Structure 1
Amino acid sequence: MPEPPDDRDANDLLRSAGSDGLREMLDRAERKVIPLRDVVEPAQQSRLRPVSMVRWDHVAPPEPEWTVFQRVPRRQTTLFSGEGAMGKSTLLLQLCAAHAVAKDWLHTMPEPGPSIFLDAEDDQDVMHRRLAAVTKHYSVSFVDLANGGLQLISLVGQDAILAGSSRSGKVQPTELYNELLALVGDVKPVMIGLASAANFFAGNENDRAEVQQFIGLCTRLAIVANGSVVLVSHPSNTGIATGTGVSGSTQWHNAVRARFFLHGVKKQSDSEGGEPDNDLREIEFMKNNYGPRAERLTLRWQDGLFLPERRRSLLQQAAQDSRDDEVFFALLSRFVAQNRAVSPNRGPTYAPTQFAGEKEARAAYVNAARLKNAMDRLIEAGRIEIEVVGPKSKSRSRLVLK
């Protein structure tokens, strides 16, 4: 086997190539006495290098890292979806502010640190109004937010594309993305809020590979920052109807490590045709690869923000349950007296749905969901019971007083 060339042989080889780039590399090699293999090989090194596990027997597995504990994983992209005008941007802007001034957000304490909010949907006047409510809620000033590292960038009315796809399906970052990447590298924000995906991604939202590549670029921002990216998106009509909260390819759900869905709340959530309560929202933490899933929070519009509903004390909850029980019992008594059968089973005569439309229930603001709970409690307490009537082949159940 021939001996590898020494440094002088390497220099002769580079000179023979006649490339300006190779000459520059040659000059540096001559000045620093760098062997040829160190000049040529780095570009040829494989990225398929196995992870070393030899020390893992003696090191405890690392705990998951979060920027918002058990909700937003560090160095990952989180998707935040919801219909338009639900309040997604307001909630995300509040989260970015909470990081900057070390305040709570939806019953959690985000990690303190700088944050960047990049908004391609609203101008600075809208951000000013929204942040005014935030400063009042947190009892801080705009100077406090600025000193804490909150940076606001509005791209409304401008080209906000961060990535687009070529004919081959390769998703390429734009110059704007590179600018953002450089800013992220300088600031090292704990949180990067992006509103919204439709403004930033010029590829095909139905193409799994393209969606995966775009989320990968977002995650690169999170890795460079050693923080998190929360990307706002809008669901399709199907996503709204099915409650999945996504649009396009299922890869929007699969590619991220965590996902939130913000939607409205009906006044009578258990009855058909229930009208939405414009002051209420529900945020569902629908995916969390590293923490608890299926958490839900009810939010109410208060002083310009959506804030968690105050939790009732056990005494308050018991008092409400007792009132709901009495409303249900009184309505059942009236229906029995009028010979109007109602059933404990879902269908046309389902008691909670029937009772929810009565004036007594409306006056007490008791919806069908709460009436269903009251029915269960009354059956368990033995105050009402289920009676089966008719022949076995056509039997039906109805509620009666005991």
Structure 2
Amino acid sequence: MRARPPAGPRSSLRLIDPRSWADKPVPERKWIVPELVPLRNVTLLSGDGALGKTLLMLQLMAAVSRGERWVGADVEPCRAFGFLCEDDADELQRRWTDIAAEMQCGLDEIGGVTLVSRAEEEDNALMSFNRVTDKGEATPLFRATEEAVLDSGARLAVFDSVHNIFTGNENSRPQVQQFVSMFRGLAVRMNGAVILAGHPSQAGLASGSGTSGSTAWNNAVRSRLYLSRPEAAGEDGGEADRDLRALSSKKSNYGPGGNEMILRWRNGVFVRELPESPLSKNARATAADAAFLACIDMALAQGRPASDAPQSPRFAPRFFRSLPPARGVREKELRAAMERLFASGAVVVGKVKGPDRHDVKAIIRGAK
């Protein structure tokens, strides 16, 4: 018979006999945002600075409070709480006004949201650490915030940003684990979800993984989202669309990983960028062709002939973007238009008089 351990203080254990689940219904998995933000857990949202993490989270808080879709995704209607360290009250009001306009409602019609602005405070640490033992302890500020969250009845709590509220060593696994566990406890007590917004490391940015510091950040959370810019250039080498973002699921313990939404910044908010229909694509292509031809006429009339050589300072798709007929047309669309027009014979390379009255090669209209 195995000897009993010596007497002494020990923790109580909640023992489960799996046979007790026989004939019992399986609990339904619950989410704030299906397959992205699980209930009773912590989600980490990472992204480089100035990409719009705070705005995206403000939109989520407004969406759950009204039970409306968030950038095209379903949500669980609930109250929301935001602990925000990067935007002051004036900036939050400006953003909230844009959000209300997008939702086509008044500011007084978005209820059930509590915001705390800590942008002007010097100390926002929510956990302190013993430098010798790495033991972490919730700060009085966390306890006050926890009480406010629970009193508000919020089931979604957003904390922005990690570098403001975590003052420990981000490469220390014990410290990171304790910090995330503290918020997991809050999520359980509120029967809701906690989202921590943070910045990835340089390595995480370079690799596209969005990770930061110790791998404990990725391991401790049940869901990790990454906000980034889509690839800087299209297949044709065109320029980036600076208003586009990609929100991707880098980790999901309870759902499929790898999901991605393409978002567009418009009128102060993010909206879902849906794939263009064939009719819409054809209409844009026709408009780009017409703009390209109009730019040829304008450039020749001004004595500034355009070239089809990418290294030329007057490379047509790049040069034409500065001309009025191509306003609103992206460079990659003008590149595609040039190729279509060359293929159809609508444009050719011919000789025209340059600014110095010498013959130069340039793109001109083809024979009628």
Q: Which category describes the TM-score, using the shorter chain as reference length?
A: 0.7 to 0.9
Residue 296 (structure 1) aligns with: 260
Residue 53 (structure 1) aligns with: 18
Structure 1: stretches of 5+ with no match in the other structure: 1-42, 325-352, 375-402
Is 1:259 the counterpart of 2:233 in the alignment? no
Residue 80 (structure 2) aligns with: 115
Residue 124 (structure 2) aligns with: 160
- Three-state SS of the structure 2 residue aligned to 1:232 is strand
Is 1:127 the counterpart of 2:131 in the alignment? no
Is 1:98 the counterpart of 2:63 in the alignment? yes
- Three-state SS of the structure 1 residue aligned to 2:25 is coil
C-alpha displacement of 1:257: 0.6
- Root-mean-square deviation (Å): 3.1
Equivalent residues of 1:161, 1:199 under 8 A apart: yes
Cα 1:314–1:57, aligned 2, differ >3 Å: closer, same or farther? Answer: farther
C-alpha displacement of 1:141: 2.0
Mapping for residues 3-402 of structure 1, pairs under 5 Å: 46-145=11-110, 148-158=111-121, 159-166=123-130, 167-270=132-235, 275-316=239-280, 359=316, 365=330, 367=332
Q: Distance in 1 between matches of 2:83 and 2:181?
A: 18
Equivalent residues of 1:267, 1:367 under 8 A apart: no
Q: Distance in 1 between matches of 2:97 and 2:184?
A: 30
Q: Distance in 2 between matches of 1:365 and 1:142?
A: 35
Deviation string 1:290-345 (CA, Å, 9 cap, x unpaired) is 11211111111111012111332254457889999xxxxxxxxxxxxxxxxxxxxx
Equivalent residues of 2:64, 2:79 under 8 A apart: yes
Give 4+ residue runs of structure 1 displaced > 3 Å after superposition.
Answer: 43-46, 269-272, 314-324, 357-368
C-alpha displacement of 1:360: 6.0
Normalised by the length of structure 2, the TM-score is: 0.73
Bigger fraction of residues in helix: 1
Cα 1:219–1:360, aligned 2, differ >3 Å: closer, same or farther? Answer: same
- Three-state SS of the structure 2 residue aligned to 1:265 is coil
Equivalent residues of 2:239, 2:332 under 8 A apart: no
Q: Distance in 2 between matches of 1:323 and 1:123?
A: 43
Deviation string 1:237-294 (CA, Å, 9 cap, x unpaired) is 111111111221011111111111111234524577x654221111111111111211
Q: Please tell me whether Structure 1 or Structure 2 has the larger radius of gyration of its CA atoms.
A: 1
Deviation string 1:6-48 (CA, Å, 9 cap, x unpaired) is xxxxxxxxxxxxxxxxxxxxxxxxxxxxxxxxxxxxx967332
Structure 2: stretches of 5+ with no match in the other structure: 1-7, 289-309, 340-368
**Alignment-mate amino acid for residue 289 of structure 1:** N
C-alpha displacement of 1:149: 1.1
**Alignment-mate amino acid for residue 150 of structure 1:** V
